[in-house]
Structure 1
Amino acid sequence: MSQLNDRYVHAATRFVTDDDERTELDLELRERIADTIDDLRARGLEESAAERQALTELGDPLRLAAEYRSRPMHLIGPRYYFIWLRLLVTLLAIVPAIIAVIDALAGAGAGESAANVLASAVATALSVAVHIAFWTTLVFALIERAAPDGTKETEWTPDRLPELPTSGAARERTDLIASLVFLVTMAVLLVWQPFFVGGERLAVLDPDLWPWWGGALLALIALEAVQAVWVYLRGWTWPAAGATVALSVAFGAILIWLLTTDRLFNPAFIDHVGWNPGWIESATPFFVTVAVVIVAWESIDALVKAGRRGRTVSS
């Protein structure tokens, strides 16, 4: 073969690190080039013209080598692209905001200025967003290359069709973000409780809540976050409504029990702020009523939404 053919084969095999694979690819390419040249010469082309025409038809040597080696020339292919995109958008819409709130609370509790708190929160959110984009893309790129070409995709059914877009879609996304930020803030406040006396943290809630009651409240908050994402992705199904009712009742029951048994607030905190124990005792029925109303409202609202969605789907 001529130098032109050798240059083409070299360009196609130079990035193949495995010796056996490179040798096999070299032989296959030379054989294909020779066959193409012979075919073109049989049509009446001169040898040099046939050689150039053959290489032109074969195209970019790197792309041809990738086809021979079954290596994708894209970072994320169509099998996983839209899964990657949906997951990435969801994570970017939720996680940086939550981490920024936590960072801002930590900065405020440490006594930093408002400007420093804001700058730190923004920088943290941007850093988290970059990490999310990088690691999510890396994982999907590795899956793209590790999964066999014959991997059977999940069988498609009409059940996988998305809901028609509604005017409330943007509001639902905003509600999800607000719910998650609120839940994370609750979890941080439950654990951290940023109230200081003389430079030392004074717990607002009774320290005896830990580990059992405090841990139970944290677990319920985590389940509430999972529930919020579930509802956003799947809509208000009856199982989702049932989970909402169960979580609301469980959270409300714990709070009511802690309130009625005087186990919620730290006695040292009550003494420091000068609250009258008698006033707290007299206000307990009011707080219990508020808790019951909130639980009932959340439960009824979830059941109504599930019923409304069920009628829409059936129609």
Structure 2
Amino acid sequence: MTTLADRYVAATLRSVPAPRREEIATELRASIQDMIEGRTDGGEETAAAEREVLTELGDPAQLAARYADRRLQLIGPRYYLAWERLLKLLLSFIPAMVGLVVGLVAATDGKSVGAAVGAGFASAFEVAVQIAFWVTLVFAVLERTNTPLHLPDWSVDQLPEAPVERQITLTDTAAAIGFLALFIAYLPLQHFRSFVPADGAGNLPVLDPALWSFWLPFLIAVLVASVGLEFAKYRAGRFTWPLVAVNAVLNLAFAVPVVWLMSADRLLNPDLVARFEWLREGHNLKTVTTVVVVTTILVVLWDTVDSVIKARRAAR
């Protein structure tokens, strides 16, 4: 056998278990010889036939993996879908939650808004990398050890409904949830970090601190429920009359307290009003109150009417 074939056999044997090397070497040499003879019998030169045979056999490392029954993949098809679904699920909420918590903690510790946002993004990215690494490592080990996952078998009952045009897209849902999350985060954040410095150390809260006894926690609960409604709307894919009703109730639950508190001069922090002389002059405070009340009513009416119109369209 020529040197070129010997080199190919040697390269293949490097990656196979030692106890099987002699057996595989004998089998591989015989296969190469038979393939070469098959070509030379047809009139091809031995050197050219040998080169073409070895090229046809391919990379020795891949051939060795086939002999050793070794997978040349980190995660194979048996585990890939489970790995992908779990990874997407964990990455969909854990990094965002950790980033939000870290950002809020950094903000309450006196860091600037930019530093708090940076800390939140950095923590979210680090958590995402850690999740991806450890989940992938676990599934790679399962792949190598052939550990069964004991997942339920697939059935036709798991088939999704035929795709239909969605009224509520993922982009709309993400934007709405992002806005609500920022609003929820702002309510406690403004108590510690606002744009108005106090006479001494710290900052003046924009909203009356006395509202923390009931109204601010109530409004936060309404906003959290609104986040849940956004998930329900996206899952339904369209507006339904029950969703319209819940949306209207949540709009009223938010708007009525805001309008009443603002009209009664109980929403804004009295110290904040006292700090700005222009608010105390003439009807300026009343003008601000009117703007807030009218804006709140218009936004609630628009959102409620819009949901009714979309529900009627979906019902046709």
TM normalised by structure 2 equals 0.59
Q: CA deviation at 1:257?
A: 1.4
- Are 2:150 and 1:129 aligned? no
Provide closer, same or farther for how the CA distance between residues 160 and 136 of structure 1 changes in structure 2, counting only shifts above 3 A. farther
Give, as a single letter, the amino acid of the residue that structure 2 aligns with 1:229.
F
Deviates more, 1:254-263 or 1:95-104: 95-104
1:207-246 alignment, distance < 5 Å = 207-238=209-240, 239-246=242-249
- C-alpha change, 1:120 and 1:134, in structure 2 (3 Å) is same
- CA distance in 1 between partners of 2:79 and 2:97 (Å): 27
Distance 1:80 1:210, change over 3 A: same
Letter in 2 for 1:175: D
Q: How does 1:19-168 map to 2 (within 5 A)?
A: 77=79, 80=82, 83-84=85-86, 87-88=89-90, 90-91=92-93, 95=96, 99=100, 102=103, 106=107, 110-111=111-112, 114=114, 116=115, 119-131=118-130, 133=132, 148=150, 151=152, 156=157, 160-163=161-164
Identity %: 26
- Measured in 2, the distance between the counterparts of 1:187 and 1:308 equals 32
Deviation, 1:276, is: 1.3
Further displaced range: 153-162 or 259-268:
153-162
Match of 2:189 among 176, 183, 192: 192
Whether 1:285 aligns to 2:287 is no
* 2:250 aligned with 1:247: yes
2:99/2:123 contact within 8 Å kept: no
* Superposed counterparts of 1:169-180, under 5 Å: 172-180=169-177
- Measured after TM superposition, the shift of residue 262 of structure 1 is 1.6
Q: For the residues of structure 2 that align with 1:76 and 1:303, how far apart are their CA atoms? A: 47
Contact kept? 1:104, 1:121, Cα under 8 Å: no
Number of the residue aligned with 2:309: 304
Equivalents in 1 of 2:237, 2:139: separation in Å?
A: 26
Alignment CA distance shift 1:189-1:84 (3 Å): same
Q: Unaligned stretches of 5+ in structure 2?
A: 1-18, 21-66, 141-146
Contact 1:259 1:284 in 2 (8 A): yes
Alpha-carbon RMSD:
4.5
Deviation (angstroms), 1:137: 7.4
